[in-house]
Amino acid sequence: MRQTKYWNVQNTINEEIRKHALEEAAEWIRKGETIAFPTETVYGLGANALSDTAISRIFVAKGRPSDNPLIVHIANQEQLQDVAKSIPPLAQKIIDAFWPGPITVIVPASSQLATKVTAGLDTVGVRMPSHSVALELIRLAGVPIAAPSANRSGKPSPTQADHVAHDLDGKIAGILDGGVTGVGVESTVVDTTGEHAVLLRPGGISKEQLVELLGGVDEDPALTKANETPKSPGMKYRHYAPSAPVYLVKGDKERLIDKVKAAQKEGKHVGVIATEEHASFFSGADALAVIGSRSQLSTIAHGLYTALRTMDEANVDLIYCETFTREGIGLAIMNRLMKAANGQVI
């Protein structure tokens, strides 16, 4: 096991110390190492997107299937020429409207990219994050950085540096601690290579925002059914899952209360993920994670992965969770919960 270096680059840190940490991390990226860093969505595990050797280290550290493509992060539009063969008009519209920000466009891939980035596809996902640490790291490294979420494959994505350390300490070169991330769920992914834009993964930019910009957007069937050649991470495999099975419970809180009591009568230790509005009704659960407010879905997205990780720490036998509207960022929330529950809805 190697030693993972830790750098504190939060805004409260002395500017000279912060600058030195980012320069050192960027140098390690250039040397082919893997560095975890914060974005506005979740923490990413980055490596030089032009080096197969570097990219291989991401897959090894995460235990990630080799047919799961990676998203490439850039610091400015000039870097698009290193990662994209061309930029379709649909992609340019999205770029002009939402970059930097939590959205990824699927475009024709450049031959300069490491082959493992695209998982054998002729397309690649590219985004420009809005987090200052991410942008500075990419700029200082001088290369595009491929970065999936910085967690063990299949587990809840990390929204703070401690989550990364829990999963990957001793497996990666370093962690840049930029504090808690903002959005809390991964970027929206849109395929722009066809005649119509296709939503592959909902995220920080909502489907409604895309429809307003483009006049319409299709949903890929893989959002509800796995396919064999995913163009986007999170489409094929069980993701975002704690160790205990997760069940999503439709209906009112009374139905969820009944499910908890019935499972406890069977001698099971039950965890509940509930909203602020309903948390007080589940004080009898063996573990309780308060996820956010139903009146403000962004707080639920922000707290989602921390809640799932809390359940892991509680060592429960099963987990019940409320369900949410699929409007706005609710679509991304329910997408992640369905993946975490492996489609198990009561």
84 is in an annotated binding site: no
Q: Is 325 annotated as a binding residue?
A: no
176-215: b (≥16 Cβ within 10 Å) or e? bbbbebbbbbbbbbbbbbeeebbbbbbbbbbbebbeebbe
Query: If we measure between CA atoms, which residue out of 172, 202, 139 comes closest to residue 43?
Result: 172
123 is in an annotated binding site: yes
234 within 8 A of 148, measured Cβ to Cβ: no
The sheet carrying 246-249 orders its strands as 246-249, 318-322, 270-274, 287-290
Strand partners, 43: 38
**C-beta of residue 126 within 8 angstroms of C-beta of residue 76:** no
Question: Residue 173, annotated ligand binder?
Answer: no
The answer on whether 149 is annotated among ligand-binding residues is: yes
Instruction: For residue 88, say if its preceding peptide bond is cis, omega within 30 degrees of 0.
Output: no
Would you say 110 is a known binding-site residue? no
127 is in an annotated binding site: yes
150 is annotated as contributing to ligand binding: no
Q: What one-character-per-residue DSSP string does 164-212 give?
A: HHHHHTTTSSEEEE--S-SS-SPPEEEE-SSSS-EEEE--SS-HHHHHH
Cα 190 from Cα 230, distance rounded (Å): 13
| d(C-alpha 157, C-alpha 338), whole Å | 15
Q: Mind giving me the DSSP string for 9-28?
A: --TTS-HHHHHHHHHHHHHH
- Binding residues for ATP, as ranges, are 64, 123, 149, 157, 201, 240
Binding residues: 41, 64, 68, 73, 123, 127, 147, 149, 157, 187, 201, 240
Annotated binding site for L-threonine: 41, 68, 73, 127, 147, 187
